[in-house]
A and B are shown apart, each in its own frame.
Chain A
Amino acid sequence: EPEVTQTPSHQVTQMGQEVILRCVPISNHLYFYWYRQILGQKVEFLVSFYNNEISEKSEIFDDQFSVERPDGSNFTLKIRSTKLEDSAMYFCASSAGTGGPLQETQYFGPGTRLLVL
């Protein structure tokens, strides 16, 4: 069964460093998302991406964040200068498209656990 994959599974970085989190969405999916979950808290939406541009972003997704689809398979989240409060689990998700519940269901990757020291 196709699945969303994410690398790395864990990342430790120093405050102020740049990190790139990578995701490979399910191959025929057209919509991509990043969510984050600070330890012990609920999952929060960061950004959605469609047709090579951002569709929607939350207030969390400030200028320190950027997303890119550099090729036909990868979808990346870059944090330009990490802060302590960026420590969280970051989830990538993808969905097939519009037209019904199956196509619009979002499937999640296993997450990247980011720790900023």
Chain B
Amino acid sequence: AQTVTQSQPEMSVQEAETVTLSCTYDTSESDYYLFWYKQPPSRQMILVIRQEAYKQQNATENRFSVNFQKAAKSFSLKISDSQLGDAAMYFCAYRSQNSGNTPLVFGKGTRLSVIA
């Protein structure tokens, strides 16, 4: 079974600075997707960024980018120019590419605080 590990329960960053959230995963599969979801205090799950395992290029969405290291099974999220609205719980998630409805496997999350 796949597992996702987020080793940083809490992180903080100064507004306008850059922060990196860590995620590692364990799998024997070669085809999969990785995701970062954001959960603000409202507790809604919001997709931040997605990475396909077959792509070597790291995904980027505006201020959010990932460092995907397939051999190391590492998938970190970098937030640049941090804003107060970035304060949230961030979950790393894994999904097999085997079929259309494979469930997501989540890590325990990292709580990010942004300091003004």
Contact with A along B21-35 (1 / 0, CB 8 A): 000000000000101
Contact-size category for B: 20 to 34
Number of residue pairs across A and B with beta carbons under 8 Å?
Answer: 73
User: Which residues of chain A are near B41, meaning CB under 8 Å?
Assistant: none
User: Which residues of chain A are near B103, meaning CB under 8 Å?
Assistant: 33, 35, 45, 48, 56, 58
User: Which residues of chain A are near B93, meaning CB under 8 Å?
Assistant: 43
Cα A33 to Cα B99 with chains together (Å): 14
* 27 A-B contacts (beta carbon < 8 Å): A30-B100, A35-B103, A42-B91, A42-B106, A42-B107, A42-B108, A42-B109, A43-B45, A43-B91, A45-B103, A48-B102, A55-B101, A56-B101, A58-B103, A89-B43, A95-B101, A101-B33, A103-B100, A104-B97, A104-B100, A106-B104, A108-B44, A108-B45, A109-B44, A110-B44, A111-B43, A113-B43
Q: Which 9 A-B pairs have the closest CB atoms?
A: A108-B45, A98-B100, A45-B103, A31-B101, A48-B101, A43-B106, A110-B44, A42-B108, A55-B101
> Contact residues of B with A, CB < 8 Å?
33, 35, 37, 42-47, 50, 52, 91, 93, 95, 97, 99-109
